[in-house]
Amino acid sequence: MTIPADLKYTPSHEWVRVETDGTLTVGITHHAQDLLGDMVFIEAPAAGRTLGKGEECAVVESVKAASDVYAPVAGEVIAANGEVESSPELVNQDAYSAWLFKLKPANAADVGDLLDAAAYQKLVESEAH
């Protein structure tokens, strides 16, 4: 599957979309859901929670393993995706539309530290067995 060029990425397999109002929408990549398998439980952070960059803030569990999701940048959680929490399989069906939470970044410039699609692609290829 092609890695969307309009998104940013982290080395821990989160994707980030910068919205027009500067807020960030965060999910996990297709590669991540593929490794984990069928999702059965997702816990997103509550709105209002303040996160540091790299802080563990969500859990995605498949039948075989639990995996932590990390905040891509520091900020405040403004929304959690209740639909995905109720139907975790949405992440398997379309990882790039099944967002987990929305974040108001502490500093707009922090997004610049994230990987672009090409860099993320290289990362995935280097991890391939």
Partner 1 sequence: MLKQTPLTALHRELGARMVDFGGWDMPVNYGSQIEEHHAVRRDCGLFDVSHMLPVDFRGAGVRDFLRSLVANNVDKLQTSGKALYSCMLNEAGGVIDDLIIYFMDESWFRIVVNAGTADKDIAWMVAQRDKTAPGIEIAPRRDLAMVAVQGPNAAAKLWNALPGSQQLTENLKPFNAVVVGEMFLARTGYTGEDGFEVMIPAKAAPFFWRTLLEEGAHSCGLGARDTLRLEAGMNLYGQDMDETQSPLESGLAWTVDMKSERDFVGRAALQSSEITRQLVGLVLLDKGVLRSHQKVFTKNGEGEITSGTFSPTLQQSIALARIPLGIAPGEEVEVEIRDKKLKAKVVKYPFVRNGKALI
Residues that bind partner 1 (CB under 8 A): 37-38, 40-41, 43, 59, 61, 63-64, 66, 89, 92
Nearer of residues 38 and 113 to partner 1, judged by Cβ? 38
What are the DSSP calls for the chain, one per residue?
-PPPTT-EE-TTSEEEEE-TTS-EEEEE-HHHHHHH-SEEEEEPPPTT-EE-TT-EEEEEEESS-EEEEE-SSSEEEEEE-HHHHH-THHHHH-TTTS--EEEEESSGGGGGGSB-HHHHHHHHHHH--
36 vs 115 by CB, closer to partner 1: 36
Pick between residue 66 and residue 108 the one whose CB is nearest to partner 1. Answer: 66
Closest to partner 1 by CB, 61 or 76:
61
* CA 46 – CA 51 distance, rounded (Å): 11
